[in-house]
């Protein structure tokens, strides 16, 4: 009898489960994270409840509007059909109000709009639905907001948009796939963009464009303002050329420009390090900046990055630039490509340094640098054995046509391992630089006698 009852229960649940599934999609198994909270939200809750674990609220919006500043709200797994507006600030930068999805990406909703200070969003799954909202998470003219560990997909106008010179915003370890326009758009100062993954941005998203939208594109990030840090992000297949929505984008992994006096401020005083920027779109560029409206783009440090592109690695060729420092990067393009394939395009930059970089398959011109600056200790190689050529010609301790001996290199995008092997000619041939103290993997430089060329310092295995 007991066995029969058990079988009956199993049968009942099997039927129940299969009838709940939509489009034959299995519910993903979300990772449950331990946390202690002051308030709770659950799809089975009720907004007339007190918001305790036993009697949780039903909507995230109720929690946002009701929770005392500086407290932690735990949101249980489930779909919340809401576009949440956070309009009640936390206490201070050390005591933000925390909204925490108990299951990683498991509390899912249409998005968030934040225009108050001291807020921390952690672990949500976000998909903008259009009509009600077009951007996943908007941070508008505020300070000390952190968005971390979220998964933000399929938003027609940016995954995360930071607007109106917000300050001290941290965007950490989020995943963003197939969003329209770009993964992250930043207009702010003193912000940190670290550890995020951005894939497959699209110019014309299948959900369409929000009313009044113009200038559709498929970039990785758009960065404006000063004193920002862009670190250890992985951008792959930006502006996917096989995506039908990418009709005619100008694909840049990072793009910035000068909006003129009082306008949107071109990126300056910014550190860009340890990122992977990969695009195989024919127009694809690593970082593109123009500064033609009166302001100068200045004081950029770009070090220990991997650039894979078709057209240009760094394009600084229109407008006013000063104090641009480019160290220990890899620039990889495609041989025999109709796209330009140059590592850097620098024209009349007032003060720059270009040291310890590797260019691979940048063809036919591995670099294009017009005007004076300090250049040297770079390595240029074409994988078909042809000799690289570029402007200026090789001058200062540079290695030309030497195979850098990567761990693996097949010439593709997103699947090369650029760690150098023990027989690499790049080992100990770089210049010692006070602006570069470690490598892509945060291994201190130098290992061995001197700095290596490229983003990876060779370290013998023990």
Query: 1-16 burial string, b = 16+ CB within 10 Å, else e?
Result: eeeeeeeeeeeeeeee
290 sits near Ca ion (criterion: CB under 5 A): no
Residue spans of beta strands (DSSP E) within 245-388: 252-257, 270-273, 276-278, 285-291, 297-303, 306-308, 312-319, 321-327, 330-332, 342-347, 350-355, 358-360, 365-370, 374-376, 379-381
Task: Return the residue of 59, 255, 256, 275 that touches Ca ion, per CB under 5 A.
Answer: 255
318 sits near Ca ion (criterion: CB under 5 A): no
Among residues 100 and 458, whose Cβ is nearest to Ca ion? 458
Q: Give the number of residues written for the chain.
A: 462
Cβ 182 to Ca ion shortest distance, Å: 8
Among residues 197 and 428, whose Cβ is nearest to Ca ion? 428
Interface region with Ca ion, contact rule CB under 5 A, candidates 168-176, 195-203, 205-213, 438-446: 438-446
Cβ 309 to Ca ion shortest distance, Å: 12
Among residues 352 and 451, whose Cβ is nearest to Ca ion? 451
Cβ 428 to Ca ion shortest distance, Å: 5
240 sits near Ca ion (criterion: CB under 5 A): no
Distance of alpha carbon 361 from alpha carbon 418, whole angstroms = 14
243 sits near Ca ion (criterion: CB under 5 A): no
Q: In sequence order, which residues have a C-beta less than 8 Å from that of residue 145 and are 6 or more positions away?
A: 96, 114, 117, 118, 119, 120, 121, 139, 166, 169, 170
Distance of alpha carbon 185 from alpha carbon 166, whole angstroms = 12
311 sits near Ca ion (criterion: CB under 5 A): no
Whether 121 contacts 91, CB under 8 Å: no
Cβ 218 to Ca ion shortest distance, Å: 7
Token code pair at residue 104 = 């990683």
444 sits near Ca ion (criterion: CB under 5 A): no
Among residues 207 and 250, whose Cβ is nearest to Ca ion? 250
Q: In sequence order, which residues have a C-beta less than 8 Å from that of residue 103 and are 6 or more positions away?
A: 30, 31, 32, 33, 76, 77, 123
Among residues 77 and 258, whose Cβ is nearest to Ca ion? 258
459 sits near Ca ion (criterion: CB under 5 A): no
Task: Return the residue of 49, 250, 347, 459 that touches Ca ion, per CB under 5 A.
Answer: 250
405 sits near Ca ion (criterion: CB under 5 A): no
- Chain residues binding Ca ion by CB under 5 A are 217, 219, 250, 252, 255, 428, 446-448, 452
């Amino acid at each position: 009898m007991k066995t029969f009852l058990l079988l009956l229960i199993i049968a009942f649940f099997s039927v129940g489960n299969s009838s709940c599934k939509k489009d034959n999609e299995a519910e993903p198994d979300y990772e449950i994270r331990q946390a202690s909270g002051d308030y709770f939200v659950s799809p089975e809750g009720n907004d007339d409840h007190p918001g305790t674990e036993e009697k949780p609220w039903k909507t995230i919006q109720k929690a946002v509007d009701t929770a005392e500043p500086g407290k932690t709200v735990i949101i249980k797994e489930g779909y919340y059909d809401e576009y949440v507006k956070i309009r009640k600030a936390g206490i201070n930068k050390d005591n933000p109000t925390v909204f925490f999805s108990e299951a990683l990406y498991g509390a899912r909703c249409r998005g968030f709009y934040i225009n108050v200070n001291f807020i921390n969003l952690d672990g949500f799954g976000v998909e903008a639905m259009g009509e009600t909202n077009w951007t996943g998470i908007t941070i508008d003219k505020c300070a000390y907001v952190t968005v971390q560990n979220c998964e933000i997909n399929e938003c027609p106008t940016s995954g995360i948009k930071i607007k109106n010179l917000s300050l001290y915003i941290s965007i950490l370890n989020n995943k963003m796939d197939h969003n329209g326009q770009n993964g992250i758009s930043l207009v702010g100062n003193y912000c940190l963009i670290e550890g995020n993954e951005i894939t497959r941005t699209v110019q014309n998203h299948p959900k369409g464009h929000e009313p009044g939208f113009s200038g559709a594109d498929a970039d990785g990030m758009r960065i404006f303002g000063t004193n920002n840090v862009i670190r250890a992000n992985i951008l792959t297949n930006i502006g996917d050329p096989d995506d039908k929505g990418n009709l005619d984008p100008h694909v840049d992994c990072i793009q910035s420009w000068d909006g003129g006096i009082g306008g949107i401020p071109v990126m300056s005083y910014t550190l860009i390090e340890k990122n992977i920027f990969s695009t195989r779109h024919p127009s694809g560029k690593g970082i593109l900046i123009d500064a033609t409206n009166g302001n100068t783009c200045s004081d950029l440090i770009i070090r220990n990055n991997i650039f894979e592109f078709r057209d240009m690695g760094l394009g600084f060729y229109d407008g006013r630039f000063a104090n641009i420092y480019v160290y220990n990067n890899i620039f990889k393009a495609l041989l025999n490509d109709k796209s330009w394939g140059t590592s850097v395009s620098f024209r009349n930059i007032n003060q720059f340094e270009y040291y310890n970089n590797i260019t691979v398959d940048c063809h036919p011109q591995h670099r294009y640098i017009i005007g004076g600056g300090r250049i040297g200790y770079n390595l240029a190689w074409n994988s078909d054995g042809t000799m690289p050529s570029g402007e200026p010609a090789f001058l200062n301790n540079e290695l030309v046509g030497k195979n850098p001996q990567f761990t693996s290199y097949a010439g593709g995008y997103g699947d090369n391992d650029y760690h150098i092997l023990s027989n690499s000619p790049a080992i100990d041939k770089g210049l010692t630089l006070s602006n570069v103290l470690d490598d892509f993997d945060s291994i201190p430089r130098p290992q061995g006698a001197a700095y290596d060329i490229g983003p990876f310092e060779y370290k013998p295995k023990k």
